[in-house]
Amino acid sequence: MTESTHSNCKSLLGSLSDYVDGELGAELCREIEKHIAECDDCRIVVDTTRKTVDLVHASNHPQAGLPDEVRDRLFKRLNLADYLKPPAQ
């Protein structure tokens, strides 16, 4: 990491979310990639932030459905008990 590039670290942080979400323009992406090739701390922050978001998504699937008894009580509370047949497949 050199002094001249280190001043960019802060500005990189502001674009980090968009970058890991793939929503950053090509030019800014190139700037980030150029910077992290030279700044190891920033490369680690970018890599581990992306990994953090990936882990959140991965641990979130498959998504659980509603427990049957919770559905039963919900339908009764909403006066929809007549419609309490199993959900259509």
Partner 1 sequence: MIETTSQADISLEALRTGDHAEFARLVDAYSAPIYRLGLRMLGNEQDAEDVLQNTFLSALTHLSNFEGRSSVLTWLYRIAVNESLMVMRRGKSEVNVDDTESSDETIEDLSPSQFVDWGALPEDELLSAEGKQALDHAIQKLPENLRMVFLLRDIQELSIKDTAEALGLTESNVKVRLLRARLSLREQLSIYYGERINQEKTND
Residues that bind partner 1 (CB under 8 A): 10, 13-14, 16-18, 20, 40-41, 44-45, 47-53, 55-60, 63-66, 70-71, 73-75, 77-78, 80, 82-83, 87
**Could you count the other beta carbons within 10 Å of the beta carbon of residue 69?**
8
* Closer of 34 and 70 to partner 1 (Cβ): 70
Q: Least distance in Å: CB of 26 to partner 1?
A: 19
Q: Which is nearer to partner 1, 20 or 31 (CB)?
A: 20
Instruction: Please identify, using beta-carbon distances, which residue of 10 and 27 lies nearer to partner 1.
Output: 10
Residue pair 47/41 in contact (Cβ under 8 Å)? The answer is no
- Alpha-carbon gap, residue 24 to 83, rounded angstroms: 46
> Closer CB to partner 1, residue 37 or residue 80?
80
Minimal distance in Å, beta carbon 67 to partner 1? 8
